[in-house]
Structure 1
Amino acid sequence: MNKHRLHSLSLQDLSVFIAVTELGSVGNAAKAHGISQPSASYALDKMRRVYDDELLIRSGGITRLTPLGQSIVDKGKPVLADFLEVRPALQFDPTTSTRNFTVIGFSSHLLGPYKRLIDALKQRAPNITFSYHYARWDSINDQLMDEADLYLGIALPEHPETQSKPLAAYSVVLCYDAESRPPPRTVEDVVNAEYVQLRSGSPHSNNIVDAWLIKNGYSPREFRYTVSDSAVLSEIVRGTDILISASTLVHEDIFSDLAAVPFPADLGDLPYELRWSRHRDKDPALLWLIDLVTELADD
């Protein structure tokens, strides 16, 4: 057994493993837990890696437990039963809680309806504190597993150890200084223009624009400037013929002093979401926060 990785297992991993032995398949275990089959498979694979044992062996249409697998089931069932007895006692009162929430994302995404989150927390949960950190684009899911409660921003690919909730979708617009240039009207105008982008590689509307251009046989755009602070973008564009591509969510807040036109083709909308670790999906405080942000997004 890999003792150094034992801490990475969760009660859900154990519960999924036991459910597979009782229900006969990964698919049935996934349905019982309300998760996807890849997520259940991931939990089973993680158990096998940590214990360095197959745990379950299927042969001739019959699934049997290894000795170690049987031992885990025998000792794990009472543990799960104990925690199920405790769960109903878990309570969260936002009016008295002193919980600190850690949210990650990108500064330009904590806008629109979500910027009202601070005011809502003050009104409904006066003793709760709120920390916001810049997400590391290449390890957002790892951050959610280790240090953050919630990711708020553009939708990410599915991950077996995190789950998400869609909030809204926004169209893509092209922002510019109307006193310095005419509006881009055609795709050719878009391709021939120069751009400034926010932190190359971060998940903003550039991705959806460039993917569409490449798919439809156009040349990639030229990004002349790259900045790490969204507050600088408007200042760089003002007085120039440079464009910014952004979602309508971002335009309505940080780029409201610039003119904007829709992208001259149907790109589809840019979805935004909440994302959190599956290991925290029974945390009543986190569920309360998720409901609060969803409510603000729906207003």
Structure 2
Amino acid sequence: MTHLGRVDLNLLMPLAALLQERHVSRAAQRVNLSQPAMSRALQRLREAFGDELLVRGPGGYELTPRGERIQRQLATVLPTLDSLFSDADFAPAAAAESFRLVGTDYSARILGPPLFQRLFQQSPRSTVNFQAWHDRVFDDLARGRTDVVFFGATPPPALHSEELFQDHFVCLMSADHPLSARPRLELDDYVRCSHVMVTVAEGDQVAIDRQLQALGTARTVSLTVPYHTAAPFALPGTQLVATLPWRIVARHAEGPALRAVPAPAEIRDMTYSMSWHSRLDDDPAQRWLRETIRSVAATVQTFGEPYSPATGA
């Protein structure tokens, strides 16, 4: 208690913001302080810990080893303190929470509409920030900048993840493509095609290209696009093939100009999951958010009929 008695607990939130943002102005905005007030808080924190905590490096501020240890400890301490001083129950109708979600256009299109409707029907004063997928998404999750991530491949084991539903892949192509009448594409024919790649993460369409890598092969990519929903528009009148989840094809690619053919048997179904950091396990608002997502995902599972090569639908 001797050490705790010397610490101003009002500095905990500025401390967390400084260690996460590594930038005085952004940290000040995060906790609604002026920049001079945040600078004074940083000086007081340095004196309290007897450490610089943040030092200037070539690319901006970097954490000292002590700062890194404190940041890891705060990830556990702050949620515990928050639950200590907050009500145990969460009342969505009266709450004004800010939920931060990240996913590709697949999740925004397939999960988004029913999820947003459910969230705002039950918690009309809350806000939702649905951000586009990017390569730092799991780092943001670890740093507390994101609440839930939707992902169609294997997430890092350090996160808590839960399967929401599965989807299978089809190859979408122009109706006059030489392979459009096949009941299913064989892998050899598939890799020889000219492909449209949806660049999901690290320049790959992860759910497809990592499976091909495991098989010791690769496909020829002639066009890359950032969105699943953009791929079908590039196909009519070309020799391009887009490998897409069936739910996207069913909702975006109807019409006589395109044909959907089942992907090679070697390309397994996609397991679509949500992931979150363990520090959010016991937060009442976050538990409600995840339960709402589960409930909506259960309705998504029943969408549409399986692809039938006989009917092409």
TM class by smaller structure: 0.5 to 0.7
Which residue of structure 2 lines up, in the alignment, with residue 109 of structure 1? 107
Q: Equivalent of 1:172, from 148, 169, 172?
A: 169
Change (3 A) 1:199 1:158: closer
How does 1:231-242 map onto structure 2 within 5 Å? Answer: 231-242=229-240
2:26 aligned partner:
none
What TM-score, normalized to structure 1? 0.66
Q: Report the Cα offset of residue 253 of structure 1.
A: 3.0
Identify the residue that residue 127 of structure 2 maps to in structure 1.
129
Unmatched 5+ stretches in structure 2? 1-50, 52-64, 300-313
Q: SS state of the match for residue 224, structure 1? A: strand
Give, in angstroms, the shift of residue 135 of structure 1: 2.4
For the structure 1 residues 151 and 120, does the alpha-carbon distance in structure 2 shift closer, same or farther, using more than 3 Å as the test? same
> For the structure 1 residues 94 and 178, does the alpha-carbon distance in structure 2 shift closer, same or farther, using more than 3 Å as the test?
same
Residues 212 and 280 of structure 1: is their aligned pair in 2 closer, same or farther, counting only changes over 3 Å? Answer: closer
* Unmatched 5+ stretches in structure 1: 15-79
Aligned counterpart, 1:285: 285
| Residues in 2 aligned to 1:96 and 1:122: alpha-carbon distance in whole angstroms | 12
Cα 1:134–1:215 change in 2 (3 A) is: closer
Of 120, 143, 147, which residue of structure 1 is paired with 2:140? 143
| Letter matched to residue 92 of structure 1 | F
Deviates more, 1:168-177 or 1:226-235: 226-235
Question: Residues 199-244 of structure 1, C-alpha deviation per residue, up to 9 Å, x if partnerless?
Answer: 264597x444444445545x42110011224443222112212100
Q: CA deviation at 1:118?
A: 1.2
Shift of the 212–103 alpha-carbon distance from structure 1 to 2, 3 Å rule, reads: closer
Aligned residue pairs, count? 229
Q: CA RMSD for the aligned pairs?
A: 2.9
Structure 2 letter corresponding to 1:94: P
Task: Sort the Cα spacing of 1:85 and 1:121 in 2 relative to 1 into closer, same or farther, 3 A.
Answer: closer
Deviations 1:168-212 (A, max 9, x none): 1211211112145442532222122101112264597x4444444
Match of 2:54 in 1: none
| 1:72 corresponding residue in structure 2 | none
Q: Residues 1-299 of structure 1 correspond to what in structure 2 (within 5 A)?
A: 2-5=65-68, 6-10=70-74, 12=76, 89-137=87-135, 139-144=136-141, 145-160=143-158, 162-183=159-180, 184=182, 185-199=185-199, 201=201, 206-216=205-215, 219-257=217-255, 258-299=258-299
Mapped contact 1:141–1:159 kept (Cα < 8 A)? no
Amino acid at match of 1:232: A
| Aligned counterparts of 2:148 and 2:211: Cα–Cα separation in 1 | 30
Report the alpha carbon displacement of residue 97 of structure 1 after superposing the two structures with TM. 1.1
By how many angstroms is 1:99 displaced?
1.1
1:122 CA displacement: 2.4
Cα distance change of structure 1 residues 4 and 111 upon mapping to structure 2, 3 Å threshold: same
Q: Which amino acid aligns with 1:171?
A: H
Say whether the 8 Å CA contact 1:101–1:129 is kept in structure 2.
Answer: yes
Find the residue that maps to 1:252 and give its secondary structure.
helix
**Gap change, CA 1:12 and 1:201, over 3 Å in 2:** closer
TM-score (norm 2): 0.64
| Equivalent position amino acid for 1:163 in 2 | H
Is the 2:228–2:244 contact (alpha carbons within 8 Å) kept by the matching residues of 1?
Answer: no
